[in-house]
Each structure stands twice: as structure tokens, then as C-alpha cells.
């Protein structure tokens, strides 16, 4: 016979069960709930975990007295939560879902919810019961890991393209140097009005486009050689002002808001000009019906919170900001996520290479800076670049622009180049300007000329990448017999003996292939006149 319990025993057992259940609910991680199936989905029960999760006490949300839990769900997630719960409940299954809520403090939290529908004997849904956990920290770690993985994949892509670009740059730039040089020779021999000049102009333009494409490939992969100088970005903006106005057209208003006491930065001046031109072209294309383009400079101090907000490792400190803002069509989130990717373009096929903004990104990163874009559809775009502040006096742009010099001379120049066509082209340029030109096909032949030469060799123009004896080794050994000889290095290859981490060693004179006869002539004359 089963033993019958006394009513007092039953009451005590029931109280103990309730006590255990209450203890369990108060100590369980997260917030346990029971939500009634009425028009408002009213909360009937909430555990004490409600306070730490939402910032509201349980009584605040029960019967929707102060707030309704459903309204705490971030609006963009509500439809997804509703559809997931309804689908699971209709199949009598447990549901699990992650979504965001906005706590009483205004903070957005990620939560994980698991629940089940409670039905009566007829199958009607009475309520939902479940538990909700705060997973903000875990979700943040996952996002950070995903960001790191994306950055690593991007770095791997850039490294792969960089190796490809660097591998072909040497030979390709030698070819372009020959094309540009001999096209220049032919054009100089034709009279104005000669129809052949138009054909040569097409050849020169094509060679220049190919040269820019190679430079862009090297720039976004951070393989471009940088010739750094202390600079005032206000001066750079002033120098390219007229060029930018011609570039963007008369229907776009160009405004410069430049801080007068701007700090200085250390950059490659030519690359900064390239940044401004690329961003101006991008802005022009975003304003087909005209608009306003604003270039702004400012001194800013970035703290640790700025880097944390950007999920980026940005050292706190002083920076110079260069911002380019347009009033164009703007970009949605999907486009913003892709704009710095190489070969990504929103332009029609054949209208863009997709290298403009990736080139900007590569230059900024190689310069030790950071770039962000702020844009919304219909609200324009703003690109903000932050470059580290540096002490020192900036290079005068007027001195740098001293192009009106007479390039002719009678000094002795030694040309060392293993590519016959390139060597002949360089020799022809300098011989035509009156220089006494010596030629060597490799480093050993050049060293022998230096040792046997009784007079001075004023400048040696040498390729860096050569078999047996590279340009740097040649210069070091030749210094013993020609101590006053200046050296102008030239190369179309970035991983060379005088370049470390993409930056030119201090005191080194460098000429990036491909180059035109005018650029070569000015560079040699500037070296000779340097004293």
C-alpha cells in the first residue's frame, strides 16, 4: 500500500521545491522568463538576471509597467527574431537565436536566447519560456577575430599582387623607358604640324598610362620606392590647386580649408599629390551634375579610444589630418566595405581599373598613416587621412619645382646598365646635352673604367639590379678610385640594395623607371649643381 503523506508534509515539500526553484532561477546565468501569448506578448515572470542584462528591474518589465522587452530589441533585428520564434513554435521545436538589445543605459548588447512554446491540451500556444544570455564579450571577440582574418587575407592578397608587380616591374619599366625615350627623340626631330607628331603623341600617352598602372600596382601593394621629405601639406595642396581645378571641371566648386599653423609630416611629396588627384577624380565621378569638393587640413590628437572605436591598432599621438569631402551620390555599406580592395570599381567596364582608391590606401599605409571613409547614400563621401606628426623644417616646394634649369653640361657621366636598349637611350640623351658619356654593360666593366680613368667621373648613373655586381656594391668599390663621384641609382624594381621597407636610404639619389629624357636630364643637372 502506498504511503499517504500528511498535508503538512506536502506543504513543506512544495515550499522546499519552490525555494529550490527560486534559488536556481536567481543564480542561473542570464535572465529566465515566461512571456504570455497575448496581444502585447506580456512578460509574466523575469528572474533577477534581468537587471544586469537590461538595466531594468524585473518588475519594470513585468506587465510592461515601465518598458516592454520586445521594444528593447534593436529595430533591425526584430523581424528576424519574430520569424525565427514563430517558425520554431509552429513546429513544436526549441528555438535559439542571437540578436541585439539596447539596454537602459543606451549600450547595445548581443544576447543569445533559447526558448520553447508552452501549449495547452488542445495545442494552443499559451506562453513562451526560456533564458537569455549576454554574449557581447564573446561576440566582440568573434568580430575582432573576423576583422583580423579579413586583414590577414587582404594583406596576403596585396603581398601576392606585390610579388607579381615587383617581379614584372623591372623588365616592364625597362621597356617603357626605351619606348618613352625613343618616342621623345623622334618627336623632337619633327616639325610642328607634322602629322607624325600626332601618332607619336598616342605612343607617348599609352606609355605614360602603362607607367602609371605599374606605379599603382606597386603603390597599393606598398612596394613603391618612397623618397621621403619633411613637408607642409598646406604647401602641397596649394601646389596642386590649379591641376585639381582642371581635373574636376568648372561645374564643381573646389574649396580649401587649411589650418594656418599645420604640423609637419614626413612623406613622399609626389605620392601625396597622387593621393589628392586620385581622391579628386573619385569625387568628380561621384558628382556627375556638379557639386562641392572640400580639401581640409587640421592638427588632431588621437587617443586610445579612437583606435578602439575603429577596431584598429592606432598608436595614440599627434597627427595631421588631410580630408577630401564631396557632395556626391555617396556609398552604401556594401560599397564602403570594398572600396580599398584592388580592382574593385563601381564604374562601367573599361572605365576604371579599380586601382585608384587601393593606391591611396597603399600609399597612406606605407607612409605610416591611417585612412577612413565616411559616406551614406545621397549624403556624399569624406575621406580622412591621418599622418603622424614629425619635427623638422619642410622642403621648399619652390626648390623642388625648380624645373627651369638648363640641363646641358660638359661633365663626364658614366652609364652602367645591363639592358642595351636602356643604356643606349640614356647615353643618347646625355650626349645630346653636351656631356662626355662613358658606357658600361655591367658592374665589373664599370669598375674597370673607374680604375683606369685618369680624370674625374662626375656622376655615375647606374642600374641597381645587375648580375655579378649590383649598383650599390659597384658604388662602394668605385669610391676608392673616384672618391668625388656622385651616384644616381635607377631601377624599375623595388626590392633593391638601397631600399629598405620601401623607403630610400638617406642621402641616396634615385630615379624610378620608367622616366622621360627631360626627367633624366634635370636629375643629372641637379646632382651636378648640388655642390
Q: Mark whether 496 and 427 lie in a shared domain.
A: yes
Rounded distance, CA 390 to CA 434, Å?
42
Give the distance, in angstroms, between the CA of residue 384 and the centroid of all CA atoms in the same chain: 11
Q: Mark whether 430 and 516 lie in a shared domain.
A: yes
Q: Is residue 456 part of a domain?
A: yes
Neighbouring-strand partners of residue 299: 320
Q: What is the CATH number of the domain that holds 256?
A: 3.30.565.10
| DSSP 8-state code for residue 391 | -
Q: How far is CA 356 from CA 341, 373, 508, in A?
A: 10, 14, 29
State the cell numbers at 130.
Answer: 526560456
Q: Grid coordinates 631600399 are at which residue?
A: 499
Beta strands (DSSP E) in 47-145 are 95-102, 108-119, 125-134
Question: What is the H or E stretch that residue 141 is in?
Answer: helix 136-189
Q: Which spans in 190-232 are helix H? A: 195-220
Final residue in a domain of this structure, among 134, 168, 202 = 134
Give the distance, in angstroms, between the CA of residue 50 and the centroid of all CA atoms in the same chain: 43
Final residue in a domain of this structure, among 367, 393, 419 = 393
Q: Mark whether 242 and 306 lie in a shared domain.
A: yes
Q: Is residue 202 part of a domain?
A: no
Q: Is residue 471 part of a domain?
A: yes
Q: Is residue 176 part of a domain?
A: no
Q: Is residue 224 part of a domain?
A: no
Q: What is the CATH number of the domain that holds 515?
A: 3.40.50.2300
Phi first, then psi, for residue 162 (nearest 5°) are -60, -40
Q: Is residue 375 part of a domain?
A: yes
Torsion sign, CA atoms 272, 274, 277, 280: negative
Rounded distance, CA 279 to CA 399, Å?
26
- Residue 214 CB-density burial (10 A; 0-12 exposed, 13-18 middle, 19+ buried): buried
Q: Mark whether 382 and 417 lie in a shared domain.
A: no
Q: Mark whether 238 and 382 lie in a shared domain.
A: yes
Q: Mark whether 238 and 291 lie in a shared domain.
A: yes
What is the SS3 string spanning 234-296?
HHHHHHHHHHHHHHHCCCEEEEEECCCCCCEEEEEHHHHHHHHHHHHHHHHHHCCCCEEEEEE
Rounded distance, CA 125 to CA 35, Å?
11
Question: What is the H or E stretch that residue 413 is in?
Answer: strand 412-416
Rounded distance, CA 405 to CA 353, Å?
36
Final residue in a domain of this structure, among 360, 393, 426 = 393
Q: Mark whether 238 and 379 lie in a shared domain.
A: yes
Q: Grid coordinates 623607371 are at which residue?
A: 513
Q: Mark whether 333 and 417 lie in a shared domain.
A: no
pLDDT at 110: 92
Q: Mark whether 454 and 502 lie in a shared domain.
A: yes
Do 139 and 110 meet the contact criterion of CB atoms below 8 Å apart?
yes
Phi first, then psi, for residue 136 (nearest 5°) are -55, -45
* Number of independent structural domains in the chain: 3
- What is the residue range of 17's domain? 7-134
pLDDT at 17: 62
pLDDT at 399: 45
Tell me the longest C-alpha to C-alpha distance in the chain. 128
Rounded distance, CA 327 to CA 292, Å?
6
pLDDT at 197: 81
Q: Mark whether 422 and 484 lie in a shared domain.
A: yes
Q: What is the mean pLDDT of each run of 10 residues along the chain (531 residues)?
A: 61 64 66 87 88 91 89 91 91 92 91 92 89 87 73 67 64 80 81 80 79 66 65 87 83 90 86 86 87 91 72 80 91 80 60 66 83 87 90 62 68 91 90 92 91 90 85 89 90 59 63 82 86 58
Q: What is the CATH number of the domain that holds 38?
A: 3.30.450.20
Residue (of 18, 43, 27, 34) closest to 115 by Cα position: 34
State the cell numbers at 333.
Answer: 555599406
Q: Mark whether 348 and 240 lie in a shared domain.
A: yes
Residue (of 66, 26, 29, 65) closest to 46 by Cα position: 26
* ∠ Cα 485 491 494 (to 5°): 120
Q: Mark whether 282 and 359 lie in a shared domain.
A: yes
Q: Is residue 158 part of a domain?
A: no
Q: Is residue 182 part of a domain?
A: no
Amino acid at each position: 500500500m502506498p504511503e499517504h503523506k500528511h498535508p503538512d508534509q506536502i506543504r513543506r515539500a512544495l515550499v522546499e521545491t519552490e525555494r529550490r526553484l527560486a534559488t536556481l532561477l536567481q543564480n542561473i546565468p542570464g535572465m529566465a522568463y515566461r512571456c504570455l501569448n497575448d496581444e502585447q506578448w506580456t512578460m509574466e515572470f523575469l528572474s533577477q538576471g534581468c537587471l544586469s542584462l537590461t538595466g531594468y528591474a524585473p518588475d519594470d518589465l513585468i506587465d510592461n509597467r515601465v518598458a516592454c522587452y520586445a521594444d528593447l530589441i534593436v529595430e533591425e533585428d526584430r523581424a528576424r527574431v519574430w520569424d525565427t520564434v514563430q517558425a520554431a513554435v509552429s513546429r513544436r521545436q526549441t528555438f535559439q537565436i542571437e540578436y541585439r538589445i539596447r539596454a537602459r543605459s543606451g549600450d547595445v548588447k548581443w544576447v543569445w536566447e533559447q526558448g520553447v512554446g508552452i501549449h495547452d491540451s488542445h495545442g494552443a500556444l499559451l506562453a513562451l519560456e526560456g533564458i537569455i544570455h549576454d554574449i557581447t564579450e564573446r561576440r566582440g571577440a568573434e568580430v575582432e577575430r573576423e576583422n583580423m582574418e579579413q586583414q590577414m587575407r587582404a594583406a596576403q592578397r596585396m603581398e601576392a599582387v606585390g610579388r607579381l608587380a615587383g617581379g614584372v616591374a623591372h623588365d616592364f619599366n625597362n621597356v617603357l623607358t626605351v619606348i618613352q625615350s625613343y618616342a621623345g627623340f623622334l618627336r623632337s626631330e619633327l616639325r610642328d604640324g607634322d602629322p607624325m607628331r600626332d601618332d607619336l603623341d598616342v605612343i607617348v600617352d599609352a606609355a605614360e598610362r602603362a607607367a602609371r598602372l605599374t606605379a599603382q600596382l606597386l603603390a597599393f601593394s606598398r612596394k613603391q620606392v618612397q623618397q621621403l621629405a619633411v613637408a607642409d601639406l598646406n604647401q602641397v595642396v596649394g601646389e596642386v590647386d590649379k591641376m585639381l581645378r582642371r581635373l574636376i571641371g568648372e561645374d564643381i566648386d573646389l574649396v580649401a580649408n587649411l589650418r594656418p599653423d599645420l604640423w609637419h609630416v614626413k612623406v613622399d611629396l609626389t605620392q601625396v599629390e597622387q593621393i589628392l588627384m586620385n581622391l579628386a577624380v573619385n569625387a568628380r565621378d561621384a558628382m556627375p551634375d556638379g557639386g562641392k569638393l572640400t580639401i581640409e587640413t587640421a592638427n588632431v590628437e588621437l587617443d586610445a579610444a579612437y583606435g578602439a572605436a575603429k577596431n584598429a591598432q592606432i598608436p595614440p599621438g599627434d597627427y595631421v589630418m588631410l580630408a577630401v569631402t564631396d557632395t556626391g551620390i555617396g556609398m552604401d555599406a556594401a560599397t564602403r566595405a570594398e572600396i580599398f580592395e584592388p580592382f574593385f570599381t563601381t564604374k562601367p567596364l573599361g572605365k576604371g581599373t579599380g586601382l585608384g582608391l587601393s593606391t591611396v590606401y597603399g600609399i597612406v599605409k606605407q607612409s605610416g598613416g591611417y585612412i577612413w571613409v565616411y559616406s551614406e547614400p545621397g549624403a556624399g563621401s569624406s575621406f580622412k587621412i591621418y599622418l603622424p606628426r614629425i619635427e623638422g623644417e619642410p622642403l621648399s616646394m619652390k626648390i623642388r619645382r625648380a624645373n627651369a634649369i638648363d640641363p646641358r653640361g660638359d661633365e663626364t657621366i658614366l652609364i652602367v646598365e645591363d639592358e642595351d636598349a636602356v643604356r643606349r637611350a640614356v647615353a643618347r640623351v646625355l650626349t645630346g646635352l653636351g656631356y662626355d658619356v662613358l658606357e658600361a654593360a655591367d658592374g665589373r666593366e664599370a669598375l674597370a673604367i673607374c680604375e683606369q680613368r685618369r680624370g674625374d667621373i662626375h656622376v655615375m648613373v647606374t642600374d641597381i639590379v645587375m648580375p655579378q655586381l649590383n649598383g650599390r656594391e659597384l658604388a662602394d668599390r668605385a669610391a676608392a678610385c673616384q672618391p668625388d663621384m656622385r651616384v644616381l641609382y635607377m631601377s624599375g624594381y623595388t626590392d633593391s640594395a638601397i631600399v629598405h621597407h620601401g623607403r630610400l636610404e638617406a642621402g641616396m639619389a634615385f630615379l624610378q623607371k620608367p622616366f622621360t629624357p627631360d626627367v633624366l636630364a634635370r636629375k643629372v643637372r641637379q646632382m651636378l649643381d648640388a655642390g
